[in-house]
Amino acid sequence: MANQKPPDGGWGWVIVVSSFFVQFLSFGSPLAVGVLYVEWLDAFNEGKGKTAWIGSLANGVGLIASPLCSASVSAFGVRPVVIFSGLMVAGGLILSSFAPSLYFLYFSYGCMVGFGCGLSYPATVTATCQYFDKRRGLALGIVSTGASIGTFMYASLQKVLISIYGLDGCLLIIGALSLNILACGILMRPLPQDPSPPLEKPMLEKTQDTYIIYREKETDPDETQGMLGIISGSETDRTCDVSSTHSGFVAPNSTANRDLEKNFCKQLVKTNCQRYLTYWLDTVDMLKNRVFVALFLAILFFDIGGFPASLLLEDVAKSANIPDQAMVVPLVSILGFSAAMGKLFLGILADFKWVNTVYLYAFTLLATGFILFAVPYANTYAVLAVLAGMIGIASGNWSIFPYVTTKTVGLDKLTHAYGILMFFAGLGNCLGPPLLGWCFDMTQTYEHAFYLSAICVIVGGLLLFLVALPLWDNCTRKNSKSPPKSYIYKPASNA
């Protein structure tokens, strides 16, 4: 069975809406964890670097486990994976409301919620890419805005819930809201498949069908024995005792069945080993693609330097002695709303044929890096709000990241490549916030921390931009050209 051609509409729009709300409910709290981060600092009185591990794990564990998550989507399908991810996210948030220490939060909020988010992301992206081709950029842009709108809504919602019900009540309520992921997952119907010739039965089923022979008439025993001899295939001639019952069925003895089951198990193990070997060979083949290698290095550096901004902006304002009354809208909410606008804009822009999405993605990285350089100099809420909005628009590049991956490795390897890239993104998410938090603990200022983050993002953007330049293709073509043919000089004959 082969998947049909993407319909670019129809039920695909239901998939887009469902995926939007899955990302809204899954990533809303983890991406707005900056609001909870300030509360956890006061509740547990631990260092910034140690406390930052909660948010970094929540956003990094799922990405690190992306190869496993992608394999789960390939093995079980989108719908079961999304439903299970909803149970993980809701369960982790509810358990976090009873957390007695940071270490418990590392498991409940960091690992459980993070792994649930990691399962939902490749599932929604894969389902959207299956249903859309020409409008894929727009569809992915709409889906990815779910996380950004969720960040915008959850930042304000969590502040209100904390002021009314406290930190524990806030986590309990948003955990209950996350159960709606299950309803969204039910709507994510897989793409119908084209009819194709039925697959050949496994060896064990085939042999059982051949062994059981209905005899309407009495046949010669030698003829029956000859029919049973066909079953052994080309292995060896096997003689088995045949006993016929009054009902007219002929069955083999137990020894023959045991041998067939053993051969079937061996074939099954061999098939699975071949599948895993193919997976790793495909991985090695993708690593030979220089743009793909530059892409995973770029996303690693981007998440080390760019992600901590969303986690630490609230504490940056607090460290700058900006009063809470002046912060009309949480900075995380501004960042989330502008990220949603950036995702939509970049998603639409990626659909234009004259736009090179790899260069567009590299440009957003460079822009993010230069904006991060200005964060330490912001001493007022207005300036921080403008910078948060600019960072959000640039971080909207998540909407075109699947588009860039598809262009780099092809649609048939999207799930495989996306799992590898998300692993490096998760590694950056886990390392970035604690690294900047420890930098603050040592210097008691965010200045050097944001300088470090800006340099990391700019290095990643420059690396991707330079590697993607077409001059490398020209060099490859020149090296691969065959040497010029040699000609033998023959003097002209005399007239």
pLDDT tens for residues 7-20? 777 888 899 999 99
Answer whether 82's CB lies under 8 Å from 22's CB. yes
Fill in the amino acid letter for 434: P
pLDDT of residue 116: 92
Residue located via tokens 């079980």: 76
- Is residue 453 classed exposed, middle or buried when 0-12, 13-18 and 19+ CB atoms within 10 A define those classes? buried
8/348 Cα distance (integer angstroms): 15
pLDDT of residue 38: 84
Rounded to whole angstroms, the Cα distance separating 155 from 33 reads 8
Q: What's the pLDDT at 215?
A: 41
CA distances to 58, 183, 303, 308, 329 from 421, in Å: 17, 29, 12, 19, 34
Per-residue b or e along 222-235, where b marks 16 or more CB atoms closer than 10 Å to that residue's CB: eeeeeebeebbeee
Q: Is a pLDDT exceeding 50 seen at residue 489?
A: no
The predicted structure's pLDDT at residue 178? 93
Mean pLDDT, rounded, for 406-435 = 79
pLDDT score at 403: 78
The answer on pLDDT for 334 being more than 70 is yes
Least confident of 264-268, 339-343, 479-483: 479-483
Determine which of 108-112, 133-137, 390-394 has the lowest per-residue pLDDT on average: 133-137
Tokens 């805005």 belong to residue: 145
Least reliable range by pLDDT among 417-421, 462-466, 479-483 = 479-483
Binned at pLDDT 50, 70 and 90, residue 351 comes out as confident
| pLDDT at position 71 over 70 | yes
The whole-number pLDDT of residue 472 equals 58
- Tell me the percentage of the chain whose pLDDT exceeds 70: 78
The answer to whether residue 227 scores a pLDDT higher than 70 is no
If phi over 0 gives left and psi between -120 and 50 gives alpha, with beta otherwise, what is residue 240?
beta
* Lowest-pLDDT range of 277-281, 352-356, 392-396: 277-281
User: Which residue's entry shows tokens 């912060």?
Assistant: 327
Of 42-56, 184-198, 392-406, the poorest mean pLDDT is in 184-198
Residue 304 pLDDT exceeds 60: yes
Average pLDDT over every residue of 171-179: 94
- What one-letter code names the amino acid at 200? E
476 confidence band (pLDDT: 50, 70, 90): low
Q: Could you give the angle at the alpha carbon of 225 between the alpha carbons of 221 and 229, nearest 5°?
A: 170
Q: What is the pLDDT of residue 3?
A: 56
- Asked whether residue 310 carries a pLDDT value surpassing 50, the answer given is yes
- Residue 470 in tokens: 């077409």
**What's the confidence (pLDDT) of residue 279?**
67
CB 379 within 8 A of CB 419: no
Q: What confidence category does residue 213 fall into, taking pLDDT thresholds of 50, 70 and 90?
A: very low
What pLDDT shows up at residue 267?
Answer: 75
Residue 312: is its pLDDT beyond 90?
A: no
Residue 265: CB atoms within 10 Å: 11
Q: Which pLDDT band holds residue 195 (cuts at 50, 70, 90)?
A: low
Query: Which of 18-22, 176-180, 285-289, 489-493 has the lowest average pLDDT?
Result: 489-493
Residue 495: is its pLDDT beyond 50? no
Query: Which residue's entry shows tokens 């495909």?
Result: 282
Q: Is the pLDDT of residue 214 over 90?
A: no
The token pair at 37 is: 């981060």
Q: Which has the higher per-residue pLDDT, 224 or 477?
A: 477
CATH number of 2-194+279-470: 1.20.1250.20
In the prediction, which pLDDT does 232 show?
43
The pLDDT tens digits of the residues spanning 149-173 come to: 888 889 889 989 998 999 999 999 9
The label of the residue with tokens 């010669």 reads 220
The pLDDT-based confidence of 193 (bands split at 50, 70, 90) is low
Give residue limits of the domains in the chain: 2-194+279-470, 203-265
Q: Classify residue 321 as left (phi > 0), alpha (psi -120 to 50) or beta.
A: left
Average pLDDT, integer, range 302-319: 81
Question: How far is residue 200's CA from residue 173's CA, in Å, rounded to a whole number?
Answer: 51
